[in-house]
């Protein structure tokens, strides 16, 4: 397999500006705690928009876990959680974050104890038990927002129930934080959120270009604002800058991967501790022009939210969130993506730490090959724990997969 050893992916300027965005966010988190203002820990299935409108600072431990993963801190923090009796088989985000909670170790020292925690069931059971562990350790009031798993959409009695759960959550947060929902502010937050999501959708859409203007690693790093800053002015300005930069690249015919020979789709979270792998693959002419993970924050799963009825609108998206639907919807998405982005093959990252994402992949791979004629390969790994990722084996499998694609072309 020929490679270009002199190749280095050109980073987006927007990626550079992320650093200050993240720093400001963490400064705000610690300032909030120092000033005694309320904060909340949320999982990514709970919209931060509500909390910005209530002036309750939202913090996403999954984001924090990913940051620790990128800094290769998971093995150390996981060992601390394991010493407290938590299994090494548990999700590596859980082990990472609990390691900090139990010890105060981590890139920012001890995280501030939140005022409350809310988790929704629209991703996995593990989220609930993760929050439960923090609740028990710190004594933080915690609420589980029920979003029963659905086949395809949240409608009828299911939507009514999820809406009632969202309203229950809002009342509960008001009761425990002393803050009330400002309806006018919520409208403004939702307006900004929708604006940002439109920009995000444009960025994803621009990836359809041949050659593709960005790499998967470029886009994965922008998940932070998509998760934690939705509905804020800085979120919109950041995404606008990102969109403009990506669009300029497309207009110039810029190729993020010169000699783009393989347009692949990445399914699942990336290995945060090894985003360099995408650069190495780029040397073989591989670009992951699209992925399923970032779609979870795209218009299909997150909006637009109805400004006039945000609670029910959010409930609909929460009830049918990316990981709260069944295999049929996943197949539908994959089929559309491989068609729209002219994908040559799909890499299914079989992520030990994300069962809902992963445990349908074998079936999806087979179905996609049958229905769309697009080959796929399973790559065993983990989103945060390098001990669960055999890099040499993974690269070997990927090289073999590229040969499969080549043979299909021949």
Partner 1 sequence: MSGGSNGSTGPPQGTPTAGSASVAGSPTPGSPATGSPETGVRALARFRAVAADPLAELAAVKERTGLMAVGYFDSYMPEEVIMAHGVLPYRVAVTGREDLRSGEFIQGFACPASRDLLDQALRGDLALLEGAVFTRYCDSLRGVFAVWDSEKLTPYVDFVRYPTVTKTESAVKYLAAELREVSARMAAALDAPADERRLLDAAAACNRKRALVAELAARRASRDLALSGADYLAVLVAATTMTPDDFTSELSALLAWPPPGEPGDALPVVLSGTTFDNVALAASIEGAGLYLIADDLASGSRWYCVNVETARLAAGEGSGMYADPWEALAHAYLTRPPCSVKEPSSPRADHLISQVRRSGAAGVLFYLTKFCDSEQAEWPYLRDRLGAEGIPAFVVEGEQKGAGSGGLQTRLEAFREQIEMSGDEL
Which residues bind to partner 1, rule: CB under 8 A?
84-87, 89-91, 94, 121, 124-126, 128-130, 132-133, 136, 144, 146, 148-151, 157-158, 160-161, 164-165, 168, 326-328, 350, 352, 355-356, 358-363, 367, 378
31 vs 137, beta carbon nearer partner 1: 137
Quick one: the chain helix, strand, coil %, rounded to 5? 55, 10, 35
CB of residue 367 vs partner 1: minimum separation in angstroms?
7
Contacts 24+ apart (CB under 8 A), 129-132: 129/94, 130/61, 130/91, 130/93, 130/94, 130/97, 130/98, 131/41, 131/43
**Strands of the sheet with 376-381, listed across from one edge:** 286-291, 262-267, 345-351, 376-381
CB of residue 108 vs partner 1: minimum separation in angstroms?
Answer: 24
Closest to partner 1 by CB, 52 or 301: 301
Backbone angles phi, psi at 99, to 5 degrees: -60, -40
Q: How far is the CB of 25 from partner 1 (least distance, A)?
A: 28
Nearer to partner 1, 94 or 181 (CB): 94
Strand partners, 348: 267, 378
Q: How far is the CB of 324 from partner 1 (least distance, A)?
A: 9
- Pull the structure tokens for residue 207: 């990836």
On whether the CB atoms of residues 382 and 271 are closer than 8 A, the answer is yes
Q: Which is nearer to partner 1, 18 or 140 (CB)?
A: 140
Cβ proximity to partner 1, 67 vs 127, nearer residue:
127
Shortest Cβ 362–partner 1 spacing (Å): 5
The residue (of 115 and 350) whose beta carbon lies closer to partner 1 is: 350
Specify whether the CB–CB gap between 36 and 72 falls below 8 A.
no
CB of residue 120 vs partner 1: minimum separation in angstroms?
Answer: 10
How far apart are the C-alpha atoms of 203 and 245, rounded to whole Å? Answer: 9
């Amino acid at each position: 397999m020929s490679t270009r050893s002199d190749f280095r992916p050109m980073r987006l300027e927007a990626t550079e500006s992320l650093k200050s965005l993240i720093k400001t966010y963490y400064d705000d988190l610690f300032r909030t705690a120092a000033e005694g203002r309320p904060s909340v820990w949320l999982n990514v299935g709970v919209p931060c928009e509500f909390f910005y409108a209530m002036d309750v600072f939202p913090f996403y431990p999954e984001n924090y876990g990913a940051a620790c993963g990128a800094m290769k801190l998971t093995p150390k923090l996981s060992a601390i959680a394991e010493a407290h009796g938590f299994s090494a088989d548990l999700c590596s985000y859980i082990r990472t974050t609990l390691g900090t909670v139990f010890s105060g170790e981590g890139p920012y020292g001890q995280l501030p104890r939140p005022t409350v925690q809310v988790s929704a069931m629209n991703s996995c059971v593990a989220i609930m038990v993760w929050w439960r562990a923090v609740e028990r350790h710190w004594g933080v009031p915690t609420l589980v927002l029920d979003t029963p798993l659905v086949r395809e959409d949240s409608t009828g009695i299911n939507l009514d129930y999820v809406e009632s759960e969202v309203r229950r959550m809002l009342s509960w947060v008001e009761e425990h934080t002393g803050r009330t929902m400002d309806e006018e502010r919520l409208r403004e937050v939702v307006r900004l959120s929708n604006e940002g999501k439109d920009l995000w959708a444009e960025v994803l859409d621009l990836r359809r270009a041949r050659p593709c203007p960005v790499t998967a690693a470029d886009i994965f790093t922008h998940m932070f604002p998509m998760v934690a800053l939705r509905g804020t002015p800085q979120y919109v300005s950041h995404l606008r800058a990102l969109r403009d930069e990506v669009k300029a690249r497309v207009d110039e015919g810029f190729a993020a991967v010169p000699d783009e020979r393989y347009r692949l789709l990445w399914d699942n979270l990336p290995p945060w501790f090894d985003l360099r792998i995408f650069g190495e693959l780029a040397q073989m002419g591989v670009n992951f022009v699209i992925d399923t993970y970032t779609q979870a924050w795209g218009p299909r799963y997150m909006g637009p939210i109805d400004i006039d009825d945000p609670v029910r609108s959010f409930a609909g998206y929460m009830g049918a969130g990316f990981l709260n639907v069944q295999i049929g919807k996943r197949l539908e998405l994959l089929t559309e993506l491989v068609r729209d982005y002219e994908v040559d093959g799909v890499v299914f990252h079989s992520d030990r730490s994300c069962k809902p994402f992963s445990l349908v992949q074998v079936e999806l791979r087979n179905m996609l090959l049958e229905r769309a004629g697009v080959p796929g390969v399973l790559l065993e790994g983990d989103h945060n724990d390098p001990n669960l990722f055999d890099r040499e084996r993974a690269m070997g499998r990927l090289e073999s997969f590229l040969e499969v694609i080549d043979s299909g072309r021949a």
